């Protein structure tokens, strides 16, 4: 050795062996045999420590760069599948499209905490490459779950595993006829829906944003609405381009020209003049809530179905994942219920199916909304007239009663109330439930973890293991319900449980609206979760 501080590693091996190098660097668990040897030697008290830390740093830096290169390769595969094959990859339901390299690597850390097994970037790249090579099309694949299954089943041939597991997804003949979408109203939810429709368009085989309807399409109005779409005080900048085409009264969003139509009458618009046919109207105004008023949309040329982003009267109130299996052929008007209903229903469904609910009280700690006053002023409802940003405001909520529409067995078993608090977004539901079947804290948390990993509610429920979770951490989370496992409480007799469920009452709800919109429009891709 030229340098006395260099470390020489001698490995005993059979004469002529060619597999030693492979064995030394082959990954197992979260390390390699070479790494273990180096660690043991460098920790020795007999070695001079002067330059060890520097060499360790260089090695760690080198390893991280290799991981970044792998993550870059994964991003390349993700983007190709999305744009060319209309196939979206997610990591345990976490979005991978448009994520930077560091975010992709950080999601692997979440995966380790979630499934309690290390999933490396090397392994996910291997599985993603196999998905690409096997021509998977028109699908949504959970790369995390697929990789986890590959590792735990100790499969050697990745292509054979992929072919067998994703047999129904390989060169599937699922033909999706794109659905035109009209946003009637362009407020908080309307703008988030617009963002998501553009972000999820991909190859354009699902939902296509074709028009926005507002009360005015004056130049000033279009300029202001473009600005509100570009930047959002809660959700940040729109990750794309938005230009005003004042001459054609349109917004050009990521190269798509979207006409802004001025109207206060939902039945007086001829959408076919804009090349729109058989469209889904997503009504975000809150002005039309019952079947009769929402039917007016169907009188406009070019409209076939209507989806309300609020609780509706005399129309199906749907929590996607729970009660979406309805007659979409003969029904034309639907409601996506409320943000709170979408948050608590999946959790209550798991508890009801496994532990049986005797009674429950739901207390929602809800962010203030547009219907409250900035400063004290008149309001038709008690207490909501007081300044929203300065007060906690006790008010009523219909979420408890709305749950029973999705889960009829809970009728007359649930009470609910709400407190509006001085935060602009993210809410918390506290579920105080008396159950029939005795349980423990560990059993209950494991039940929720499994429900978030397998079954029909994996898109709706996210299982959090963080002891430091606060409301701002939830902003932008696509799950309808974020189950706080660290806050869960179970009584000594195991018959009363208190669950804490977070939700982004804007974005999380928007994702539920999109899921329902895809379903009723028959453009929902095959999913492997």
Q: How far is CA 260 from CA 192, 210, 274, in A?
A: 16, 9, 11
- Check if the beta carbon of residue 82 is closer than 8 Å to that of residue 97: yes
Structure tokens at 200: 């999820």
- Check if the beta carbon of residue 24 is closer than 8 Å to that of residue 34: yes
Query: Which listed residue (8, 37, 339, 527) is catalytic?
Result: 339
- Check if the beta carbon of residue 310 is closer than 8 Å to that of residue 288: no
Give the Cα separation of 456 and 454 in Å (integer). Answer: 7
**Closest residue by Cα to residue 365 from 327, 330, 393, 335:** 393
Give bridge partners of residue 264 from the DSSP assignment: none
> How close are the terminal C-alpha atoms of the chain, in Å?
53
The residues, any chain, with a CB within 8 Å of residue 388's CB and separated by 6 or more, are: 368, 369, 372, 373, 374, 420, 422
Give the Cα separation of 522 and 513 in Å (integer). Answer: 14
Task: List the Cα angle 492/497/498 in 5-degree steps.
Answer: 120
Torsion of CA 484, 485, 489, 490, to 10 degrees: 140
Torsion of CA 356, 357, 363, 365, to 10 degrees: 10
Give the Cα separation of 246 and 259 in Å (integer). Answer: 10
478 is catalytic: no
Residues serving a catalytic function are: 339
């Amino acid at each position: 050795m030229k340098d006395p501080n260099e470390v020489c590693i001698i490995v005993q091996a059979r004469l002529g062996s060619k597999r030693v190098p492979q064995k030394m660097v082959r990954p197992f668990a979260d390390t390699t045999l070479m790494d273990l040897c180096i660690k043991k030697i460098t920790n020795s008290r007999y070695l001079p420590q002067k330059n060890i830390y520097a060499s360790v740093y260089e090695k760690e830096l080198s390893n991280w760069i290799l991981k970044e290169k792998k993550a870059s390769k994964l991003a390349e595969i993700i983007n190709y599948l999305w744009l060319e094959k209309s196939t979206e990859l997610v990591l345990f339901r976490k979005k991978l499209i448009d994520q930077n390299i560091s975010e992709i690597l950080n999601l692997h850390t979440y995966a380790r905490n979630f499934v309690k097994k290390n999933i490396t970037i090397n392994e996910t790249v291997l599985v993603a490459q196999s998905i690409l090579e096997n021509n998977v099309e028109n699908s949504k694949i959970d790369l995390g779950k697929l990789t986890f299954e590959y590792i735990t089943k100790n499969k050697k041939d990745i292509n054979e595993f992929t072919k067998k597991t994703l047999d129904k997804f390989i060169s599937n003949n699922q033909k999706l006829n794109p659905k035109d979408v009209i946003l009637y109203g362009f407020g908080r939810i309307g703008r988030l829906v617009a963002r998501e429709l553009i972000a999820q368009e991909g190859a354009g085989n699902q939902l296509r944003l074709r028009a926005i309807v507002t009360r005015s399409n004056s130049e000033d109005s279009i300029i202001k609405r473009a600005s509100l779409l570009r930047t959002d005080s809660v959700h940040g900048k729109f990750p794309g381009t938005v230009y005003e085409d004042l001459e054609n009264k349109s917004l050009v969003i990521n190269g798509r020209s979207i006409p802004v139509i001025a109207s206060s009458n939902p039945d007086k618009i001829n959408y076919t003049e804009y090349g729109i046919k058989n469209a889904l109207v997503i009504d975000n105004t809150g002005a039309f809530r019952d079947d009769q008023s929402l039917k007016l949309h169907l009188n406009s040329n070019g409209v076939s179905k209507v989806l309300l982003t609020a609780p509706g009267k005399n129309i199906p109130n749907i929590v996607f994942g729970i009660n979406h299996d309805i007659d979409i052929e003969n029904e034309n008007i639907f409601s996506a219920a409320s943000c709170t209903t979408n948050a608590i229903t999946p959790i209550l469904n798991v508890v009801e199916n496994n532990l049986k609910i005797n009674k429950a009280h739901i207390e929602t700690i809800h962010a203030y909304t547009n219907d409250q006053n900035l400063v004290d002023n008149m309001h038709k409802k008690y207490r909501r007239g007081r300044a929203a940003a300065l007060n906690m405001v006790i008010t009523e909520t219909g979420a408890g009663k709305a749950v029973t529409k999705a889960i009829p067995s809970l009728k007359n078993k649930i009470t609910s109330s709400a407190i509006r608090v001085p935060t602009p977004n993210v809410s918390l539901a506290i579920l105080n439930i008396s159950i029939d079947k005795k349980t423990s804290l560990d059993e209950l948390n494991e039940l929720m973890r499994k429900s978030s990993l397998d079954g029909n509610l994996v898109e709706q429920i996210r299982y959090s293991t963080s002891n430091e979770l606060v409301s701002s951490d939830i902003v932008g989370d696509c799950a309808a319900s974020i189950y706080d496992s660290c806050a869960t409480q179970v009584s000594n007799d195991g018959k009363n449980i208190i669950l804490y469920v977070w939700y982004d009452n804007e974005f999380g709800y928007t994702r539920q609206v999109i899921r329902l919109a895809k379903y009723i429009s028959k453009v929902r891709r095959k999913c492997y979760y």
